[in-house]
Amino acid sequence: MKRLCLALCLLLVAMPGWAQVVSRTLDDGWRFRLLPGDAQAKAHPEATAWRKASVPGSVHTDLLAHGVIVDPYVGAPEASLQWIGLADWEYVHRFDVDEATLARPNAELVFEGVDTLAEMSLNGKPLLSTDNSHRTWRVRVDKRLKARKNELRIIFRSPIRALLPQVQAMPHKIAGNYPSPYGDEPKDAMVGNFVRKPGYHFGWDWGPRYVTAGLWRPVRLETWKSLRVTDLAIATTSLDQDEADLAIIATVDSAGPDTAAMEVEILDPDGQRVGLLQRSALLVQGENRVELTTTLRSPRRWWPAGYGEQARYRFRLSVRNARGDSVAAERLTGLRSVELRRDRDADGQGFAFVINGVPIFAKGANVIPFDAFPARVQPARIREVLQAARDANMNMLRNWGGGYYEDESFYDIADELGLLVWQDFMFGGGMQPAYEPLFRANVVAEARDNLRRLRHHPSIVLWCGNNEEETAWKDWGHRKQLAEADPVFADRVWQGYVALFGRDLRRVVHEEGLGVPYWSSSPSNDLDEKANDSRKGDKHYWEVWGAPAKPVQAYLEETPRFMSEFGLQAWPVQRTVDAFASRAEQAIDAPVIRAHQKFMAGAGNERLLQYIQNEYGTPRNFADFIYLSQVMQAEGIELAALHHRASRPYTMGSLYWQLNDVWPGASWSSIDHAGRWKALHFHARRFFAPVAVAASRREGEIQLDLVSDRQQPLKGEWRLRVMDFNGKVLRQRKAAVTLPPLSATHVRAFKDSELLRGADAAASVAVFELYEGETMLARQLVYFEAAKALKLPAAAIQTALERDGDGYQLRLQSAQLVRDLWIDFGEHDAAVSDNALDLLPGESVTLKVTSKAHLAALRASLHLQSLADVLPPPATN
Q: What is the CATH number of the domain that holds 604?
A: 3.20.20.80
20 part of a folded domain? no
15 inside domain: no
Residue 821, SS3? Answer: strand
Asked if residue 607 belongs to a domain, the reply is yes
Contact in structure between 116 and 131 (CB atoms under 8 Å): yes
Task: Give per-residue burial for 479-504: e unless 16+ CB within 10 Å, then b.
Answer: beebeeeeeebbeebbebbeebbbeb
Q: Is there a domain that residue 16 lies in?
A: no
Distance CA 833, CA 846 (A): 9
Q: In this structure, which amino acid lies at residue 393?
A: N
**Nearest Cα residue to 570 out of 439, 697, 455, 680:** 680
- pLDDT for 874: 60
DSSP H helical ranges for 591-656: 591-595, 604-615, 622-646
Residues 98 and 138 placed together within one structural domain of the fold: yes
Q: Which of 316, 333, 350 is the last residue of a domain?
A: 333
Domain boundary among the residues 669, 687, 705 is at 687
Domain with 185 in it: what CATH number?
Answer: 2.60.120.260
713 & 580 share domain: no
Domain count, the chain: 5
Asked, for residue 852, whether it belongs to a domain, the answer is yes
Q: Does the predicted TM-score (pTM) go above 0.75?
A: yes
3-state secondary structure of 723: strand
Residue 673 lies in a domain: yes
Helix axes 679-687, 622-646, angle to 10 degrees: 20
Q: How far is CA 718 from CA 648, 724, 741, 778, in A?
A: 19, 20, 17, 10
Look at residue 875 in the predicted model and tell me its pLDDT: 58
Domain shared by 817 and 829, yes or no? yes
Report the C-alpha gap between 12 and 9 in whole angstroms: 6
Together in a domain, 461 and 584: yes
- Does residue 665 sit in the same domain as residue 801? no
Whether residue 460 is contained in a domain is answered as yes
Q: Report if residue 8 sits inside a domain.
A: no
Are residues 41 and 153 located together in one domain of the fold?
yes
Q: Which pLDDT value is given to residue 14? A: 34
Same domain, 469 and 593: yes
Regions of the chain where pLDDT drops below 70: 1-19, 873-877
* Eight-state DSSP code of residue 310: B
Residue 659's domain spans which residues? 338-687
How many residues make up the chain in this entry? 877
Which residues 6+ apart lie within 8 Å of 503 measured at CB? none
Identify whether the C-beta of residue 356 lies closer than 8 Å to the C-beta of residue 327.
no
Read off the CATH number of the domain in which 844 is found.
2.60.40.10
| pLDDT at site 519 | 98
Cα–Cα distances (Å) from 624 to 436, 606, 705, 820, in that order, read 52, 15, 33, 13
Q: How far apart are CA 664 and CA 597, in angstroms?
A: 10
Residues 6 or more apart whose CB falls under 8 angstroms from that of 419 comprise 304, 305, 364, 386, 389, 390, 394, 395, 396, 397, 413, 459
Residues 51 and 168 in one domain: yes
Tell whether 601 and 646 lie within a shared domain.
Answer: yes
The answer to whether residues 171 and 257 belong to one domain is: no
| Cα–Cα nearest to 630, from 682, 673, 707 | 682
- Within this chain, do residues 459 and 363 fall inside the same structural domain, yes or no? yes
Domain boundary among 217, 251, 274: 217
Is residue 559 domain-shared with residue 418, that is, in the same domain? Answer: yes
> What pLDDT, on a 0 to 100 scale, did the predictor assign at position 20?
82
Read off the DSSP letter of residue 684. H
